[in-house]
């Protein structure tokens, strides 16, 4: 039986399937709603074999200039069992080509590099790509472990800083309302200015807070009414995923960023999560801070793309150079599109279309780290 791709328009049913497959929070309905408000189209589909749902995926679709037409992207998905992976990916690729006329289907699954999924991805015609949005090198903690077991993996100084913060008069709790959210945004602006990374407009974060609700908790440190630091997450039934974090100058002096991270780990365990993903490791100061919380690193499968168009070669060389920002990238992807169309119109007596020799640019790596186009946050994988 050939599996069927069926649209899902029911939020409760969709999120129920995400949790049934132990899916990632970037696949939740509310995350797609936020992306739909900020430049993406969203297509949620179930892959069914008869009456059984064998997989699902929330596809984000971004229009590109002709002839590329569209990028179809699945952040931290799809969701399925290892045995059904090839069949699910084949059907999703067909759907992306027929419905969205995508130049490629790009996936960044929440699967380990050395897992049983890897062979099935290659067998479905996907190829590994450097057009990365969500960083595959990360740190994932097992929240089924006890406090003592988690702390045993930390450095001595990290344990000391956590204990000092937890003994202080600082209160660690979830952000409760819009007024406290504005304090989060103020700290995030200050943190971004100090660290030199770009952020979205404030409305983007307000939309995340509203659209995900309880699935996007913010754990913050308070000295009375004053917020000192925060860790902002998204979470599904099984996985907590760090989105953003920030600390005020006073919070830095008190080292409350250690306490707020520990409070976030405990809060997500209380909420039923079994995995805590620190969301990307690079060779920078933020990653050095993250690495103090464990002795290991994790490597996910990474970015894989399936070509869906004869213009894929031009597209694949265009994407990696788009770190200059979205507006510049858009101009340059149009230039790449023009060259690709010119190549397609060239004489074909030699057999096939011509590919450009230079590396082209486009709007792929002008991304935020939580998984979409825009600006670059915290230098490690979220959009």
pLDDT band at 317 (very low <50, low <70, confident <90, very high): confident
pLDDT reported for residue 284: 82
Q: Which residue matches tokens 């992207």?
A: 73
Residue appearing with tokens 């005020």 = 248
In whole angstroms, give the CA distance from residue 248 to residue 251. Answer: 5
Six-digit token pair at 372? 């979409």
Average pLDDT of the chain, as a whole number: 87
CA distance to 24, 25, 89, 326, per residue, from 35 (Å): 16, 13, 22, 16
Write b or e for each residue in 225-235: b if 16 or more Cβ atoms lie within 10 A of its Cβ, otherwise e. Answer: eebbbbbbbbb
Q: What local confidence, expressed as pLDDT, does residue 300 receive?
A: 98
Confidence class of residue 286 from pLDDT cuts 50, 70 and 90? confident
Tokens representing 70 are 């569209």
Distance CA 187, CA 181 (A): 10
Instruction: Judge whether 262 and 107 are in contact, CB under 8 Å.
Output: no
What is the predicted pLDDT for the residue at 331?
56
Contact indicator for 374, 383 with CB cutoff of 8 Å = yes
What pLDDT score does 230 carry?
98
Measured distance CA(68)–CA(126) in Å, rounded = 18
Number of helices (H) and strands (E), helices first, in the chain?
A: 13, 18
Q: DSSP labels for 338-381?
A: HHHHHHHHS--TTSS----SSPP--SSSSEETTTEES---TTSS
Residue 291's region, left for phi above 0, alpha for psi from -120 to 50, else beta, is alpha
* Per-residue pLDDT reduced to its tens digit, 159-185: 999 999 999 999 999 999 999 999 999
**Position 362 confidence tier, pLDDT thresholds 50, 70, 90:** very low
Tokens of 239: 């996985």
Q: Which residues are CB-contacts of 72 (< 8 A; sequence separation ≥ 6)? A: 59, 60, 61, 96, 100, 102, 104, 105, 106, 308
Instruction: Specify whether the CB–CB gap between 240 and 276 falls below 8 A.
Output: yes
């Amino acid at each position: 039986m050939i599996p069927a791709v069926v649209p899902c328009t029911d939020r409760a049913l969709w999120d129920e399937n995400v949790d049934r497959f132990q899916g990632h929070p970037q696949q939740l309905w509310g995350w797609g709603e936020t992306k739909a408000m900020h430049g993406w189209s969203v297509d949620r589909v179930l892959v069914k074999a008869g009456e059984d749902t064998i997989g699902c995926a929330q596809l984000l679709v971004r229009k590109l200039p002709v002839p590329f037409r569209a990028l179809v992207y699945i952040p931290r998905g799809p969701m399925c069992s290892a045995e059904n992976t090839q069949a699910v990916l084949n059907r999703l690729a067909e759907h992306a080509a027929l419905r969205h006329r995508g130049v490629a289907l790009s996936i960044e699954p929440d699967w380990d590099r050395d897992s049983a999924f890897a062979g099935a991805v290659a067998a479905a015609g996907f190829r590994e790509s450097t057009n990365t949005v969500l960083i595959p090198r990360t740190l994932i903690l097992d929240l089924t472990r006890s406090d003592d077991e988690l702390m045993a993996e930390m450095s001595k100084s990290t344990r000391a800083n956590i204990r000092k913060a937890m003994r202080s008069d600082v209160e660690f709790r979830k952000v409760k309302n819009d007024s406290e959210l504005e304090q989060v945004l103020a700290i995030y602006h200050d943190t971004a200015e100090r660290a030199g990374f770009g952020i979205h407009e404030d409305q983007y974060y307000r939309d995340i807070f509203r659209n995900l609700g309880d699935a996007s908790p913010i754990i913050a440190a308070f000295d009375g009414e004053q917020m000192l630091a925060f860790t902002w997450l998204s979470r599904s039934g099984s996985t907590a995923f760090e989105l953003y974090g920030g600390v005020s100058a006073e919070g830095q002096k008190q080292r409350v960023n250690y306490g707020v991270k520990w409070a976030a780990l405990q809060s997500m365990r209380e909420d039923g999560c079994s995995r805590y993903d620190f969301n990307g490791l690079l060779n920078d100061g933020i990653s050095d801070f993250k690495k103090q919380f464990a002795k290991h690193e994790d490597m996910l499968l990474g970015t894989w793309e399936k070509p869906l168009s004869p213009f894929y070669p031009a597209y694949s060389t265009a994407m990696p150079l788009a770190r200059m920002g979205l507006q510049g990238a858009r101009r340059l992807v149009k230039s790449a599109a023009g060259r690709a169309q010119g190549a397609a119109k060239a004489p074909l007596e030699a057999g096939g279309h011509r590919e450009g020799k230079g590396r082209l640019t486009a709007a792929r790596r002008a991304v935020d780290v939580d998984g979409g186009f825009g600006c670059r946050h915290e230098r490690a994988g979220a959009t």
